[in-house]
Structure 1
Amino acid sequence: MNDIPYRSALIIGAGSGISASVARLLRAAELPVVVAARNVDKLATLVNETGAIALPVDATDAAQVERLFAETQARIGAPEIVIYNASGRLRGPIAELDPAGVEQAVTASALGAFYAVQQAARYMVPAGNGAILLTGATAGVKGFALSAPFAMGKFALRGLAQSAAREMAPKGVHVAHIVADGSVRAEHRADPADRPDSTLDPAAIAQTYIDLLRQHRSAWSWEIEVRPWVESF
């Protein structure tokens, strides 16, 4: 039985990890899903597997994000679930970082998320219903050396989530920030033999997203952390 209290979903910044796993669970619950990315070719396998609809978007462009929401509404109805999974990474010593690259990285992680939340709010607040899930990282609560742009973007994302949750929860919109506190498992990066489950299984993270969506409004979480059981914190 599908007990997710929403009828449609849009995942922005979709790829083969967390967002693909979430898309599979949402499609298994028979929700129509749009997966959006700059390069939709990489989503072909997911689309063939799940029947999700792939749409192109550059999440750093406000006009493209607005068009994405309009096209999503035309294809599956106004999205009642919006998941923002895009981010920008740029590593290096602060003194040597290219300012244009920093701007691009922060825009992908934070400003693009604002564009998505703004559009979601315009659909969800009048309806008094919806859920917005924002994918965070360890860097959103602890900035690491040589990773200032990623920390800047993820700290801003967390602030956006907290502010949006306080504004929109009383209007019926559930906003939550998920801190993925650790490396996410990938096909090209297996766990060490002596440390099984030392990375986050994207399917297990996706289940957490589904659990958030099922929360009753009397006990909504605005933030949740997930980490491997062997992680030190």
Structure 2
Amino acid sequence: MIDIPYRSALIIGVGPGISGSLTRLLRAAEIPVVIAARHVDKLTPLVDQTGAIALPVDASDAGQIERLFAETDARIGAPEIVLYNASGRLRGPIAELDPSQVEQAVAVSALGAFYTVQQAAKRMVPAGKGAILLTGATAGIKGFALSAPFAMGKFALRGLAQSAARELAPQGIHVAHVVVDGGVRAEHRPDPPDRPDSTLDPDAIAQCYIDLLRQHRSAWSSELEVRPWVEKF
């Protein structure tokens, strides 16, 4: 198995789940990592555990994303791995949703991803190297009732991933969209005793990201679906 061919990473939208697991795997490979979230105080345990650098960002703000990349450049160099894991969730009947809240939810899921891909491309295209990973969801494949804003954002994210992959792959940049099709296991959401592994283990999902990063460019994946073995689809 080849080593990860990238030497620095920026993860946006970090929490205790998928992004936390990926941070631990990357740091175990001695790759410097900047982790970013709206509220960095929640990242203290992960920073203490891994030595990652935590920076604040509102992913829906283009200026803040630009400043985050500039600060990352200063701290660890231009990131060769960029993961966008942020998303905006808003549930409710379409007729009752607040338009301003819908706008914010879509901005986090979709516009923030565009701002991130744009800043990554500005650094990776001249270098002719890099990987951009975008965390999708079932909602990017089919929209569920009472979840229109999330579906809108995740459908847009998938379109961005497809367009960016077709544009940037020939320039040496691996763009991949990961469809997380199912609930992700967490402390507050463990598997039922009678249904082990019925949710996605965040460590297992993170390993899939590592596997993507290790792919040879002659066989790059642009989209990967992950789901529990008992999931119906």
Q: Same fold (TM over 0.5)?
A: yes
Q: How does 1:186-225 map to 2 (within 5 A)?
A: 186-225=186-225
Q: Is the 8 A contact 1:177 1:222 kept in 2?
A: yes
State the identity as a percent.
Answer: 83
CA gap 1:221/1:2 in 2 versus in 1, 3 angstroms? closer
Q: Distance in 2 between matches of 1:207 and 1:161?
A: 20
Q: Does 1:149 align with 2:149?
A: yes
- TM-score (structure 2 length as normaliser): 0.99
In the other structure, the counterpart of 2:226 is: 226
What is the identity, as a one-letter code, of the residue corresponding to 1:13? G
In the other structure, the counterpart of 1:140 is: 140
Q: Does 1:63 align with 2:63?
A: yes
Q: Distance in 1 between matches of 2:191 and 2:96?
A: 33
Q: How does 1:69-84 map to 2 (within 5 A)?
A: 69-84=69-84
Runs of 4+ in 1 over 3 A off after TM superposition: none
Q: Is the 8 A contact 2:82 2:133 kept in 1?
A: yes
Q: How does 1:56-205 map to 2 (within 5 A)?
A: 56-205=56-205
- TM-score (structure 1 length as normaliser): 0.99
In the other structure, the counterpart of 1:11 is: 11
Residue 31 of structure 1 deviates from its aligned partner by 0.2
What is the identity, as a one-letter code, of the residue corresponding to 1:223? E
1:23-69 superposed Cα distances (whole Å, 9 cap, x missing partner): 00000000000000010000000000000000011000000000000
Residue 194 of structure 1 deviates from its aligned partner by 1.2
Q: Is the 8 A contact 1:2 1:29 kept in 2?
A: no
Q: Is the 8 A contact 2:110 2:154 kept in 1?
A: yes
Q: How does 1:16-55 map to 2 (within 5 A)?
A: 16-55=16-55
Name the SS of the counterpart of 2:105 in structure 1: helix
Name the SS of the counterpart of 1:74 in structure 2: helix
Unaligned runs of 5+ in 1: none
Residue 184 of structure 1 deviates from its aligned partner by 0.4
Q: Is the 8 A contact 2:2 2:214 kept in 1?
A: no
What is the identity, as a one-letter code, of the residue corresponding to 2:157? L
CA gap 1:2/1:28 in 2 versus in 1, 3 angstroms? farther
CA RMSD of aligned residues (A): 0.8
Q: Distance in 2 between matches of 1:18 and 1:207?
A: 10
